[in-house]
Structure 1
Amino acid sequence: MPHRLESESRKLLGRLREALAGDNEGQARLDRVVDLIASSMQAEVCSIYLFRDSETLELCATQGLEQEAVHQTRMRLGEGLVGRTAQSGTVINTADAPAAKGFRYMPETGEERYSSFCGVPIQRLGDSLGVLVVQTKAARELTPDEVYALEIVAMVIAEMTELGAFVGEGAALSARHQQPVMLRGTVAQEGASEGQVFLHEPRVVVTNPISDDPDRELARLREGVETLRKSIDNMLMGARTADTDQAQVLQAYRMFANSSSWMKRMEADVANGLSAEAAVEKEQSLARTRLSKAGDAYLRERLHDLDDLSNRLLRILTGQGSNAEHDMPDAPILVARNIGPGELLDYGKKLKGIVLEEGSVGSHAAIVARAWAIPLVINAKGVTREALNGDTILVDGEQGIAHLRPDDTVHAAFRDKLEMQTRAQERYASIRDLPATTKCGQTISLMMNAGLIADLPSLEGSGAEGVGLFRTELQFLIRNQMPKRAELSALYSRVLKSADGKRVAFRTLDIGSDKVLTYMKPNDEPNPAMGWRAIRVGLDKPGVLRMQLQALLRAADGGPLAVMFPFVAQMSEFRAAKAEMDKAIAREEKLGHALPSKLEIGAMLETPSLAFAPDTFFQEVDFISIGGNDLKQFFFAADRENERVRKRYDTLDVSFLTFLEQIVKRCQTSGTPVSFCGEDAGRPVEALCFAALGLRSLSMRPASVGPVKHLLRRVHLAEVRAVMDKAIAEGHQSVRRAVSDWLVYQV
């Protein structure tokens, strides 16, 4: 850029800094900004359009257009050249605006006198705030240098909105991070909690977007980038070998950090008056706009790398963003883009809830949240951008909603909900030690699901009779290498001792699908939920399966042991897995180790195919656990990670209940114990219907045991079955409404 333009750009930013530092607020500041830009650019018109809501732009300040149009002229996103600029996130620069595609004439503004149009998006890290427009009477396109100068100014305007510089009477912008925000996501773990935001990666706020000493800022930028590059080199040296997957990822990461074009762009930004931090954010915002629209999935994925690099550099430059600087609040609600199991477990059970911008219902975070019985909302878009450490937040895991900085009305209603839940839990505590025996004398065994040693205290507190499912994969997921047999044996031994004689059913390693081990070479599969996972991995890698089985046998130390294999699709897979158990037993016996006094070997029925296995399978297996989550998605061909179809099908659909009853009858015929394990087992109405079908064992999260027991103890199963049969006879697709309506009058 020519030296004159560089000087003019810095002069403009200097005048903006003076204007923004004055006593004026809101509208007066916006008016001063457009005046300065118009005079500096030698343009007849400068206007700022800001979003009134997510779909509507409003003319909020102008120099050159009719003042009566301010706060009166509005347009939809994508409407006119201003709307197109906001929608695309890219500059529109034309010498003949009326002839440009999408032009919309707004007579109230008096803009017919102006030929040229240059619209620059005002955005911050993917958050579109509005459009900065410059117009001239002369029919000319702005030069690349002039457009660049406007981008610099738009960047500063975006940063100042973050700091609340334009808050005040008459202005469209409200103070960022001060207004109530409701974020709608996806339910991954039910429950409700109130607390304060605890950011996994606290956002960096740039408080000094404009610099008055480019040389000093250039030195700071170069020093920060050098520190960043050294840190990446150190990470790369920590990789075990140069050809590991980890090293390959870090090599790509290093390439980004050493990009000369990235560095030159940031240096140019600083030379034109931005601080080092603002220069980093400007390039981060522009890259987000470009890469997020890329059709190439690889390029879109690189956006995460660039984001991470930029955030690391911002933390180096500002010293912000380390949670070590922030004490965890009394009631922490963890907010993150995404998080791995190891990082999540480091926070411990102090967390009262989790809200993620990404994630899935079967993710590591969801597994841990279920184990801890804390509400989890995923896919809450924008939560990391909106939340600040310490913000009040309400997490509604029943609806998949997070309320940030709620107003008094929302807060009061939510607290009423929490109080009702507390009273209900007190009521459930009174029946904790009583059996789940119905009025007709049928006793249903209520078990709990677990996956951590820390879960076991819930066994006594919940009133569960044992552990119907102990997930063993968490100990594999939280490590960077395969755990040793002795480590697993010690852990399983502590689990059994903590259960204090109550039955624990260990599920062997269930990885694959969305549970991927970092130290196991990933397989790119078009449909991982139906791919290489669970027992399929165990049978293809028998050494791992055998090592785990040996650890379980040693942990039993001569006592009873129950083991079940996940995702068995046919009898031959169960027999092959059982053969591995036989080999493990033979080895333990040869070594002189004590064998279990009672060994139960079961299978999880999670695929419809296993329900139609030969009779001999049901005779050979010691017990069956119906894995409701997977079985339901395969029965209805509805991916449980897909929000469009996940809730489309009802567990109490007549076809699904008929299928479950067939499984129950086959197990009754062969004398095989059968239980239902999954989220639906912990929902009282569903649990009631399962019991009416003949299921006598249900396994659920600990917090669900009380509500389910409370309802079961108040009904006659024969009456429930009669209601279900009547609904089926009348041709209803689901029995839910009929049973729910009946319960209103009976319970």
Structure 2
Amino acid sequence: MPATDRDEGTPGEHRAAMDHVGESDSRKLLRRLRDTLASAEAGQARLDRITELIAESMGTEVCSIYLFRDRDTLELCATQGLERQAVHKTRLRIGEGLVGRVAKTGKPINTEDAPSAPGFRYMPETGEERYSSFLGVPIQRLGETLGVLVVQSREARRYSDDEVYALEVVAMVLAEMAELGAFVGDDAGLSAPHKHPVMIRGSVAQEGNAEGHVWLHEPRVVVTNPVADDPEAELARLNEALETLRVTVDQMLEAVDATDKEQREVLEAYRLFANSRSWRRRIEDDIRRGLSAEAAVEKEQSAARARLAQVPDPYLRERLHDLDDLSNRLLRILTGQGRETGAQMPADPILVARNIGPGELLDYGRSLRGIVLEQGSVGSHAAIVARALAIPLVIHAENITTEALNGDHILVDGDEGVVHLRPEEAVVQAFRDKMAMAAEAQKRYAGLRDQPAVTRDGVRLRLDMNAGLMADLPSLKSSGAEGVGLFRTELQFLVRAKMPRRSELVQIYRRVLDAADGRRVVFRTLDIGSDKVLPYMRQVEEPNPALGWRAIRVGLDKPGVMRMQVQALIRAAWGRPLSVMFPFVAQMDEFVAARDIVLREIERERALGHPLPEKLEIGAMLETPSLAFAPRHFFEMADFISIGGNDLKQFFFAADRENELVRRRYDTLNISFLSLVEMIVKRCEETGTPLSFCGEDAGRPVEAACFAAMGIRTLSMRPASIGPVKHLLRQVDLRELRAAIDAARANGEQSVRRAVMEVLARARG
């Protein structure tokens, strides 16, 4: 087991009588709390009664409950022993005072001399200066801290480990009671959980806007019976559920391919946890204290999630994730609340999840209106699938899975990375107005579908689309794209549990070319690594995966995979033109080695008598600044070059595009970056090498117009961007735009955006 266990001790030690709270007293207190939950008392009366019960049972002069008023503010909501007039008046910021520190760290604070403890804050209105000892524990559920439970005494003493443990058990029950709305009421000044509007700011992974209702990928298990009267019956339920869990894990292991080492390792970790005596002992101790089996499992899961947030080591984090998933499985067995809960997916579902794999996302298909993830990354396979399906996606939406319930009204602003959960009517109306304006604009763009992208000064540009799934290909016609400037081939590898066969790839690539109906398709070879990890391939732990073993580096180190993919592409072409592009080329010799693999496979197919491509193009993605300075011979060898703007920009500015602190800090229209683009254009012009720009910025109209002004004549983007980009290009004079860029550069400006926007305003005016 990783460092997730408390000091194990012996079962006898854990069941030893406490100084003030014995085993039977603990269960007695929990039963009285349950009776309070079932009573008809108002919310404040329940809170007051609970503090009285805990103080009496613990033998302390003070018991206080602090709950979060908002994300950053704790409020004294009930007390026995402190001044009553301080209730709903005393507030602390998270991290402020001992109570705020407990809330911030998610860990207990136990001191015999509170005024001398680091961070102590004196609050005169409470009258707490009379009390020396302090014990505070977090009220938390599934890693989310809801408040702090505090006991205090005049006597200067340190509370025993058993007393701390007992108070944690009580705090767990309070968390469940809060989740069930036990403290709601005007008299308590508290609103019902999951009822008030919430705005969550995340990150943009796929643009677009959507309105709908929440569909949780992993519905939360609701513990409705946190307290149990019969510990022996609960222990029997736990034993039965654990045995079912162990059998399930063993069956999963038997079903896994023996060569699938990665998945076997995960399941072996599951089996290790399922058989962990220390994990089981802690759950059993919680049950003996008076918790139900499911409440005891959830208490340990909450503690593990709190530790997870503070563990920097990636291996330990992964193991804690395994424990979290195993706890969810055990909870579903105990409660019978499996994936199939009887709930019906709404007609307008917005998928909400912590994270999701590409295969699972494809199972939902185009039925989803939008997706919101707590985790994820802009380059992940889930994001790639979302883009392919043109579904708005917001990632890094903190706490969305704990805030949302199935059926909640939700608005997803994929353009700004904002989610509105249970929005107020004014927000809904403003959002609908925004969506209506976007829909009206799309109608205008549809009228340009068959029109060429020709600027006012007569420059003709080619607009291609990016794709990665067969589901993308109908957009070739509907969007007005002239071809596929980037077909991501890794998705066919990512959505499978094992390596696809060459024959399967041949069929997929053939269908892509058939659907393109003679239009050019540029196939990018396997781009894995970084945040795109094959489920059947051992993940290499790297300090900086984006700069590590990925893309062409993997292909050249595992040439068998690259050869198999190249063979599939040649056979899929079956005499038709074929364009192949290598990703993440950093220096010329990598391109030479990869190009030689293609040429050798061409000769091999010739020897086998198979039809060869009518025309073969071998190109490279320029995603690293180093390749822009490659020898002239590289530009002469490459049949075409595509600037991979997403990676090139993050490496050029040394700004991780997954890091919200820096990724928006640097402007694409920075003079330095446009000068690099200009240099690449000139080098390609010198050798007659066709050049395109591919990436998110190619689909942004203003940026696209500037790239055109710098000399780029082919842009590749998501299908939905083609209309807006074409609309602007047809209004602009590239000579005027280039003159504004040159003037801004001559004036020493850092970015040309202001000057460019003035030109575009005149063009539109």
Normalised by the size of structure 1, how large is the TM-score? 0.96
Q: Which residue of 2 aligns with 1:596?
A: 613
Tell me if 1:183 matches 2:233.
no
**1:147 matched to 2:158:** no
Which position in structure 2 is the counterpart of 1:71?
Answer: 88
Partners of 2:309 and 2:50 lie apart in 1 by 30
**1:654-665 equivalent positions in 2, closer than 5 A:** 654-665=671-682
Pick which of 240-249 and 179-188 moved more.
240-249
Letter of the 1:425 partner, please give it.
Q
Letter in 2 for 1:690: F
- Equivalent residue, structure 1, for 2:4: none
- The alpha-carbon deviation at position 472 of structure 1 amounts to 0.6
Q: Report the alpha carbon displacement of residue 38 of structure 1 after superposing the two structures with TM.
A: 2.2
Q: Paired residue for 2:707?
A: 690
1:48 aligns with 2:62: no
Give the equivalent residue in structure 2 for 1:473: 490
The separation in 2 between residues aligned to 1:98 and 1:608, in whole angstroms, is 58
1:656-693 Cα offsets, whole Å, 9 max, x none, are 11111121122222222111111110000011011111
Q: Which residue of 1 aligns with 2:31?
A: 14
**Greater CA deviation, 10-19 or 320-329?**
320-329
Partner residue of 2:646 out of 606, 616, 629: 629
1:283 aligns with 2:300: yes
TM-superposed deviation, 1:115: 3.4
Q: Is the 8 A contact 1:202 1:323 kept in 2?
A: no
After superposition, residues 399-410 of structure 1 pair within 5 angstroms as 399-410=416-427
Deviations 1:53-77 (A, max 9, x none): 2332221111222211111122233
Which has the higher mean CA deviation after the structures are superposed, 548-557 or 114-123? 114-123
Give the partner amino acid of 2:353.
A
Counterparts of 2:419 and 2:724 in 1: how far apart (Å)? 24
Say if 2:129 is the partner of 1:112: yes
> For 1:146-225, what aligned pairs fall within 5 Å after superposition?
146-225=163-242
- Matches of 1:464 and 1:297, distance apart in 2: 42
The equivalent of 1:371 in structure 2 is 388
Q: 1:463: Cα distance to partner?
A: 0.7
Whole-angstrom distance in 1 between the partners of 2:205 and 2:492 = 21
| Whole-Å separation in 2 of the counterparts to 1:429 and 1:391 | 33
What's the offset of the Cα at 1:295?
5.5
Q: What is the identity, as a one-letter code, of the residue corresponding to 1:386?
A: E
Q: Does 1:738 align with 2:755?
A: yes
- Label 1:227 to 1:574 Cα distance change in 2 as closer, same or farther (>3 A): same
Partner of 1:136: 153
Q: Is the 8 A contact 2:643 2:694 kept in 1?
A: yes
Q: Distance in 2 between matches of 1:208 and 1:538?
A: 54
The question of whether the paired residues in 1 share the 8 Å contact of 2:184 and 2:191 is answered with yes
Displacement of 1:620: 2.4
Q: Assess if the C-alpha contact under 8 Å between 1:50 and 1:172 holds in 2.
A: no
Per-residue CA distance 1:371-430 (angstroms, 9 max, x = gap): 122221111111111111121111111111111111111111111111111000011011
Return the offset for 1:518: 2.4
**1:314-393 to 2 correspondences below 5 Å:** 314-323=331-340, 325-393=342-410
Asked whether the equivalents of residues 200 and 323 of structure 1 are also in contact (C-alpha less than 8 Å), the reply is no
In the TM superposition, residue 696 of structure 1 has moved relative to its aligned partner by 1.0
- SS state of the match for residue 135, structure 2? strand
More displaced, 515-524 or 390-399?
515-524
**Cα contact 2:261–2:538 (8 A) shared by 1:** no
2:5 is matched with which residue? none
Q: Is the alpha carbon distance of 1:84 and 1:602 closer, same or farther for their aligned partners in structure 2, counting shifts above 3 Å?
A: closer
Query: Does the residue aligned with 1:287 lie in a helix, a strand or coil?
Result: helix
SS, match of residue 661 in structure 2: helix
Tell whether 2:414 aligns with 1:397: yes
1:235 aligns with 2:248: no
Q: Which residue of 2 aligns with 1:529?
A: 546
Segment of structure 1 superposing worse, 478-487 or 535-544: 535-544
Distance 1:584 1:729, change over 3 A: same
C-alpha displacement of 1:193: 1.1
Classify the secondary structure of the residue corresponding to 2:486. strand
Per the alignment, residue 644 of structure 1 pairs with: 661
Paired residues of 1:5 and 1:145 also in contact (CA < 8 A): no
CA drift of 1:522 comes to: 2.8
Secondary structure of 2:22's aligned partner: helix
Kept in 1, the 8 Å contact 2:61–2:153? The answer is yes
Could you say what secondary structure the match of 1:661 adopts? Answer: helix
Cα distance change, pair 693–40 in 1 and its aligned pair in 2 (3 A): same
| 2-structure distance, mates of 1:243, 1:483 | 13
Q: Distance in 1 between matches of 2:139 and 2:158?
A: 20
Q: In the alignment, what sits opposite 1:124?
A: 141
Residue 526 of structure 1: how far off its partner (Å): 2.6
Supply the distance in 1 between the matched residues of 2:126 and 2:468 (Cα, whole angstroms): 64
Q: Which moved more, 1:651-660 or 1:109-118?
A: 109-118
Aligned match for 1:39, one of 53, 56, 64: 56
**Which one is further off, 715-724 or 685-694?**
715-724
Supply the distance in 1 between the matched residues of 2:747 and 2:412 (Cα, whole angstroms).
40
- The CA deviation at 1:52 is 1.8
3-state SS, counterpart of residue 119 of structure 1? strand
C-alpha distance in 2, partners of 1:296/1:587?
A: 47
Output the CA distance in 2 between the equivalents of 1:651 and 1:427.
Answer: 27
* Superposed CA offset, 1:130-172 (max 9, x none): 2222223444443333333222211111101111110101324
SS of residue in 2 equivalent to 1:480: coil
The answer to whether the Cα contact below 8 Å between 2:412 and 2:419 also exists between their aligned partners in 1 is yes
Cα distance, 1:643–1:106 mapped onto 2, change above 3 Å = closer
The gaps in structure 2 that reach 5 residues or longer are 1-14
CA distance in 1, matches of 2:632, 2:133: 81
Q: How many residues align?
A: 747
Please give the secondary structure, in 2, of the residue aligned with 1:342.
helix
Q: Distance in 1 between matches of 2:592 and 2:341?
A: 52
- Give the one of 554, 574, 577 matched to 2:591: 574
Per-residue CA deviations over 1:554-577 (Å, capped at 9, x if unaligned) read: 111212221112222233222222
Following the alignment from structure 2 to structure 1, what is the Cα–Cα distance between the partners of residues 51 and 30? Answer: 12
1:643 alignment partner, SS class: coil
Check whether the contact 1:95–1:116 (CA below 8 A) recurs between aligned residues: yes
Residue range with higher mean Cα deviation, 610-619 or 695-704: 610-619
Instruction: Give the counterpart of 1:583 among 600, 610, 626.
Output: 600
Question: Is the CA contact (8 Å cut-off) linking 1:94 and 1:116 kept in structure 2?
Answer: yes
Separation of aligned partners in 2, 1:702 and 1:388: 33
Which SS does the other structure have where 2:662 is aligned?
helix
Residues 429-483 of structure 1 show CA distances to partners (whole Å, capped at 9, x for unaligned) of 1111111111211111100000001100011111111101111111111112221
Q: Which position in structure 1 is the counterpart of 2:741?
A: 724
